[in-house]
Amino acid sequence: MKNIVILATGGTIAGAGEQGKDIGYKSGSIKAQTLIDAIPELKNVANICVEQFCNINSDDITSGIWIALSKRIQELMQRNDVDGIVMMHGTDTMEETAFFLSLTLDGFGSRIAGNAADESVGCSRVAGNVTKPVIMTGSMRPATAAEPDGPANLLFAVKSAVDLCERSVRESLNSALSCPLENAAEVYVAFAGKLMNARTVQKIHANDLDAFEEISSELSSHSHCHPGFIPGSPSCFTFDISSLQSLPRVSVLYFNADADAELVRFAAERSAGLVIAGAGAGEFSRAWADAIAGAVAEKNIPVVISTRINRGRIVPEQLLVPGTIAAYGLPPAKAAVLLRLALTVTNDPAEIQKFFETSYTLSS
């Protein structure tokens, strides 16, 4: 059987409260081994090793925890006795952690380093391990609920990890893959019987057991090497976080009717970059446009324009303020993740725009 490491970080799946109730619980209260012992079917699926990485509510995730988690997964991926990794995580910020891992896990030794504009290495340089998927899962009900959904989600995640391991081995034997994300560590979210890619998954319901969906079908999970491919982008490389302890601070601002533009100016004073969750196709008021223009010109910080709408994309031609950055298919929370990582490489809006452009490919 495959050897699967289960990393536990807490969340509702490890939550405990009044027996039989779905609400009023405390996340991250139960140890991982206790949860695993309650699912006897797991021993028939894979050899399981459990590691309690942390035990917190996912709303308390920090960039420091992200970095440490990515580094730990990277260490595990190098071991010959590990075939795949399943992570238990709270659902509130699961899509952000998944996206971060998809941009930082380096199974091949090729990373974004230095100025992206100077990077000239193409797809064919990468080579490495293609057999170790990373799958995140969690639950909408605590472990003490009358009918918890955590056990089924965890069992499905482990089964999916085993299936992906076997599929990757077959594919690597049958073909010589040359595009990095075809070869790279695959990061998924397994939830309610669905296996979803980290780059497209979003939480779409605050209460339902089926809480996640792949939203942006055009944001390719596997960016193929095509004529429009630009080397040195997140689609082809991962960000080097080996020397980092935290990420630059980025604030996400939600525009609504009659929103106070002083919020933009306040956030610009305290942030290395901003993400605007605009209305419609990244729209906002004249007052906000003036405040955003001031942040770009006076504070010299990158401002990414996304939308508060679940579906659709923002492209440069739609931008209301010159010098801002289009998020393309990324929702605000994921746009903030990519901007924080991009800021570890460059502060140039034109170069950061390339990261967003080349992580977005039209499906064909």
Q: Please give the positions annotated as active site.
A: 12
Q: CA 76, CA 69: separation in Å to the nearest integer?
A: 11
Q: CA 364, CA 362: separation in Å to the nearest integer?
A: 6
Beta strand 187-191 pairing with 194-197: antiparallel
Q: For residue 214, how many other CB atoms are within 10 A of its CB?
A: 17
DSSP 109: S
Region of residue 114 (phi > 0: left; psi between -120 and 50: alpha; otherwise: beta): left
Q: CA 216, CA 199: separation in Å to the nearest integer?
A: 9
Contact between 278 and 306 under an 8 Å Cβ cutoff? The reply is: yes
Backbone phi, then psi, for 353, in 5-degree steps?
Answer: -60, -35
Q: CA 16, CA 37: separation in Å to the nearest integer?
A: 16
How many DSSP H helices and E strands does the chain contain? Answer: 9, 14
Q: Which residues contact 167 (CB under 8 A, 6 or more apart)?
A: none
Listing DSSP states for 215-253 in one string gives --TTB-SS----TT--SSSTTT-EE--TT-SS---EEEE
Closest CA to 102 of 42, 10, 187: 187
Q: For residue 229, how many other CB atoms are within 10 A of its CB?
A: 16
Closest CA to 223 of 178, 255, 183, 182: 182
Contact between 186 and 327 under an 8 Å Cβ cutoff? The reply is: no
Q: CA 334, CA 337: separation in Å to the nearest integer?
A: 5
